[in-house]
Amino acid sequence: MIRRVALITGVSLGLLYGIVLFATYQAGIPVMASFLNIYTWFPLIIVPVGAVAWWLRRNLVPVPDLKELLQYAFLAYVVYEVLYAMCTYGLFGLYDRTANDQLIRHLLAQTEAKMAGQQVPKEKLDEIRKLAGSEKGPLTIRKVLLGFGTNLVLDFIKSLFIATITKQTVHPKR
């Protein structure tokens, strides 16, 4: 039961990400950049994964323990990350290989405009331009796999957080 729920959660969130990614791409690079900024700074995926963990702890008999909650959360994240990687590579590596460069140029222009108003030193701007230049070109499988591995480490930490908080604070129905 817990694995099935984890698969459903991960697939649902992965498909939702893919739909929003491609919809914002169709709306234009500025819209997609806004979505990706929000997605980066607000890890919203933790909310539904945590909510389902809460539901599992509250409603399942026998009550899931820490290990089962951790397995649920991490499996949901793994499935989500697979779909996330597929959607990201599908858009930036297959569908439109120029979208990555367009996105980087747009984000660099936004950053430069913000920093110009704050009178940031020229060296800092040059450093940001150099970093942006190193990411140019189409997205490669290697970059996607590196991001996938990095995200899994962070997802395990988030899963442990979700499992621990849920185990400690949610009391099963009697």
Q: Is residue 121 part of a domain?
A: no
For residue 19, the model assigns a pLDDT of 97
Q: Is residue 36 part of a domain?
A: yes
Q: How far is CA 14 from the centre of its chain?
A: 9
Q: What is the mean pLDDT of residues 102-129?
A: 80
pLDDT higher than 90, residue 85:
yes
For residue 124, the model assigns a pLDDT of 76
Range of the domain at 22: 2-97+138-169
Q: Is residue 132 part of a domain?
A: no
List, as own/partner pairs, every contact residues 167-174 make where C-beta atoms lie below 8 angstroms and the sequence separation is at least 24, other chains included.
167/57, 167/65, 167/66, 167/69, 170/54, 170/57, 170/58, 171/58, 172/57, 172/58, 172/59, 172/60, 172/61, 172/63, 173/58, 173/59
Phi then psi for 125, rounded to 5 degrees?
Answer: -65, -40
Q: Is residue 144 part of a domain?
A: yes
Average pLDDT, the chain: 90
pLDDT higher than 90, residue 112:
no
pLDDT higher than 70, residue 84:
yes
Q: Is residue 120 part of a domain?
A: no
Q: 27-73: per-residue pLDDT in tens? A: 999 999 999 999 888 888 999 999 999 999 888 888 889 999 999 99
How many C-beta neighbours within 10 Å does residue 110 have? 14
Q: How many domains does the chain have?
A: 1
Q: Is residue 87 part of a domain?
A: yes
Q: Is residue 155 part of a domain?
A: yes
Cα 31 to Cα 37: distance, rounded to the nearest angstrom: 10
Give, in order, the Cα–Cα distances in Å from 108 to each of 56, 58, 170.
43, 46, 44
